[in-house]
Chains A and B, each alone.
Chain A
Amino acid sequence: ETGVTQTPRHLVMGMTNKKSLKCEQHLGHNAMYWYKQSAKKPLELMFVYNFKEQTENNSVPSRFSPECPNSSHLFLHLHTLQPEDSALYLCASSQDWGRRMVEAFFGQGTRLTVV
């Protein structure tokens, strides 16, 4: 059982659709992250939230819109995506990085296919 839960596990959407990915953590962490994992590429950090404040936007296109209403929940809103956005989207959480050891805990990911 994971302390970080992502829904849905799989998502197929058209390029004109709007959908949202959800992440919830039950670990009492203050930092949450979105990563994109594409085939044959390293994990790409997309967004970082620390104490609900966005602290990093790693040059992500505006068709990806994050939302962090509280330290336990993180959303990724998707609209007018492209086929190259098809990937595994991973959510992670950690203690805030003022701590000595910042270990991230991951969800099982959402497999997104854009058609």
Chain B
Amino acid sequence: AQTVTQSQPEMSVQEAETVTLSCTYDTSENNYYLFWYKQPPSRQMILVIRQEAYKQQNATENRFSVNFQKAAKSFSLKISDSQLGDTAMYFCAFNMPSYGKLTFGQGTILTVHP
């Protein structure tokens, strides 16, 4: 079975600074996908960034980037130039093409302070 672990229940950061959220996962598969989702107080889950396991290059989306370490089964999210609108709960998620469903971590509540 696949498991996803987020060891940081809560994080805080000052506006304009950088923060890194941690995620580890466990799988015996070689081909899979990893995602970071954001859930603001409005409750809408929004995809932030995704990574294909067979790609060595780390994914980036504007201020969001990941550090994907396949051997260590680690998938951290870095948010640069944090903004107040980044305040949300962040979920790391795992999926395999043949599996069809997302497995989520416990979530990290991120608060950005002015």
Cα–Cα, bound, A101→B4 (Å): 18
Q: How many residues of B contact A (CB 8 A)?
A: 25
Known interface pairs A42-B107, A106-B44. Does A48 touch B97 (Cβ–Cβ under 8 Å)? Answer: no
Q: Residue B33 contacts which of A33, A101, A107 (CB distance < 8 angstroms)?
A: A101
Q: How far is the CB of A81 from chain B (nearest CB, A)?
A: 20
B69 to chain A, nearest CB (A): 21
Given the complex, which residues of B lie within 8 Å of A104, measured CB to CB?
47, 102
Interface residue count on the A side (C-beta < 8 Å): 30
* CB atoms of A42 and B105 under 8 A apart: yes
Inter-subunit contact A90/B45 (CB<8 Å): yes
Closest A residue to B37 by CB, please name it: A106
| Complex contacts, B46 vs chain A, CB 8 Å | 106
Residue among B37, B44, B105 making CB contact with A108, cutoff 8 Å? B44
- Contact residue among A41, A55, A99, A108 (Cβ-Cβ distance under 8 Å from B97): A99
Interface string of A101-115 (1 = CB under 8 A from B): 111111111010000
Closest to A44 in B: B104
Chain A residues with CB under 8 Å of chain B are: 2, 31, 33, 40-43, 45, 48, 50, 55-56, 88, 90, 92, 96-109, 111
Q: With contacts A45-B101, A100-B97 known, what are 4 further pairs, Cβ within 8 A? A: A43-B104, A90-B45, A97-B101, A106-B45
